[in-house]
Amino acid sequence: MTMARRLAIVLIVAGGILAAVTTFRAIGHVRQNGVSANIFQQQRFRTPRRIRALVGERPLHAIRVRTAPGVVAVSWYDSDFEPTQSSKRYFVTLYVDGVAQAAVAKDGKAGKYEDGGVLVRWDVSVAAGVHRFVVAVEPKSALGPGLPYTDPGHVGLDSMSVEQIKG
Amino acid sequence: MTVVSEPSTTRSSAALWVGAFVVAAILAGSLGVLVAPGKSESHIHVWSSRHVLRHSRVVVSLGPPGRPIHTIVVQGDGGPARIDWADGYVVPLHPHSGMYVGLYIDDRLAASSLFGGLSGRFEGGPDGVRWVGHLRPGRHVVQVRVDRSDRGFAVPRASVVHPVMDLLRVTEYE
């Protein structure tokens, strides 16, 4: 393989990853007494993201964090939940270590002009150790909901935070 | 050919290593593997601005720069921060309409939230914007603006009998 080809491959891979990173960023991490006290993850969108069946079981967010024993506050925010089908109900579920902990629902009667931001908050007791916090939306369909819908000139956001509030 | 190609191979190997390192660093950062140095203790600073409206605030805005509806000035130490804006009762006033609310930090658009209305009747509800990120040390002006509201939204709809909240909060984790 020539040097030019190798460099081209490296640049293409790096460019792709840079593009991905500008969309998905782990941007905040505060540690307290040796454990992760607050973690924020945020994704940024300039165009709509549709949650389609083709995406499979890939969650919206997944955070692995070491906690102290106590209570952890978990929240998920999306700047616009856009139903795209009539008479459809969607569920957003929070999983901790693979176990469903809490869910919220969003209805779509007409499947258009029913947009709105969504904030989910939940407190969960955890033991000391590493835990996996996941947010996922169901059902996925060919006409997947917009999470978020956004227009050019605006900034759609989708974020998840995990905060140790009692340790 | 061989002599010429040797330095090239060396340079390409070096470039590959540099590229691989950059890629690995970016990947690690994006996955949260690279962690900020631990602190023995954390401090949280909170700035909060609360409005209670006793009359409806109807906003018509056709595009950025929109109409400011809430402003707060913070003097932070820098670090991870979260900004929350919450309004108790956003109401579309016309059918087939949408409203973008923009969150601005020092006049730069950081986040947008969209609220839609199909019929313009009985579609009101609470709305909000959340942004997380790093704030640089120093003074910052955080402002909420209605960037677009088509033919009009009440932000919020309120009355003397039913006053409604509008909150802007900045939380900084030192």
- Of A66-70, A120-124, B7-11, B99-103, the poorest mean pLDDT is in B7-11
Overall fold of domain B44-173: Jelly Rolls (2.60.120)
Q: Largest alpha-carbon pair distance within chain A?
A: 58
Mark yes or no for CB contact B27/A17 under 8 Å: yes
Q: What is the DSSP letter of B5?
A: H
* pLDDT value of residue B30: 41
B48-107 residues touching A, CB cutoff 8 A: 63-64, 79-82, 95-98, 100, 102
Of A38, A79, A149, the CB nearest to B173: A38
What are the residues whose beta carbons fall under 8 Å from the beta carbon of A138, sequence distance 6 or more? A90, A91, A93
Task: Check pLDDT > 80 for residue B68.
Answer: yes
Give the separation between CA B165 and CA B53, rounded to whole angstroms: 6
Q: Give the model confidence (pLDDT) of A122-149 as tens digits.
A: 999 999 999 999 999 887 666 788 999 9
Instruction: Give the gap in angstroms from C-alpha B39 to the nearest C-alpha of chain A.
Output: 6
Domains along the sequence of chain A with CATH = 26-166 (2.60.120.760)
Q: Give the model confidence (pLDDT) of B139-172 as tens digits.
A: 999 999 999 998 899 999 999 999 999 999 999 9
* pLDDT value of residue B132: 93
Q: Give the model confidence (pLDDT) of B29-58 as tens digits.
A: 443 333 333 344 567 899 999 999 999 999
Q: Give the model confidence (pLDDT) of B10-35 as tens digits.
A: 344 555 555 665 555 454 444 333 33
A32 band by pLDDT with thresholds 50, 70 and 90: low
* pLDDT value of residue A21: 52
Q: How many percent of chain A have pLDDT more than 70?
A: 81
Amino acid at residue number A5: R
The angle that helices A3-23 and B2-30 make with each other, rounded to 10 degrees, is 10
Mark yes or no for CB contact A11/B9 under 8 Å: no
Is the omega angle on the peptide bond into residue A148 within 30 degrees of 0, that is, cis? yes
